[in-house]
């Protein structure tokens, strides 16, 4: 689970560093699409959907920690929030776990296709 959680923490830090000062209008949609892609790749790699969903809970604490560290280390213009609403705390685990489940099915289908 640590491996998967590191991916979600890195995603949150990158998102904050790139988009928190001037977030684009469709930032939340982009975050959801990247989470689905990350969940698919982790599921295809053999991670369980429960593990990926639980690891995605690291996203919002990592985003806020990045904002706090940026404020502490910077003297210039810094963001006051990560740029996404915390209500997604309920959405990201479901998206990540569902995508990991689909990724697991794709892995099994790919292995099944190699047999024939």
Taking Cα atoms as reference points, which of 89, 65, 58 lies closest to residue 79? 65
Q: Which residue has the tokens 């404020």?
A: 71
Residue-by-residue pLDDT tens, the chain, 116 positions: 678 899 899 988 988 888 877 777 788 888 889 999 999 999 999 999 999 999 999 988 998 898 888 888 887 777 777 777 767 788 899 999 999 999 999 998 888 877 66
- Copy the structure tokens of residue 62: 């990592």
CA torsion, points 111, 112, 113, 116, in degrees to nearest 10? Answer: 120
Q: What is the reported pTM?
A: 0.83
Instruction: List C-alpha distances in Å: 61 to 4, 83, 110.
Output: 15, 13, 35
């Amino acid at each position: 689970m640590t491996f998967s959680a590191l991916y979600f923490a890195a995603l949150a830090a990158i998102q904050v560093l790139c988009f928190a000062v001037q977030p684009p209008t469709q930032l939340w949609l982009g975050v959801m699409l990247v989470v689905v892609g990350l969940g698919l790749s982790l599921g295809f790699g053999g991670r369980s959907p429960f593990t990926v969903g639980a690891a995605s809970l690291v996203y919002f604490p990592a985003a806020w920690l990045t904002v706090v560290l940026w404020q502490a280390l910077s003297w210039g213009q810094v963001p006051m929030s990560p740029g996404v609403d915390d209500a997604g705390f309920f959405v990201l685990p479901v998206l990540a776990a569902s995508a990991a489940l689909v990724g697991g099915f794709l892995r099994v289908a790919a292995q099944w296709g190699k047999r024939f």
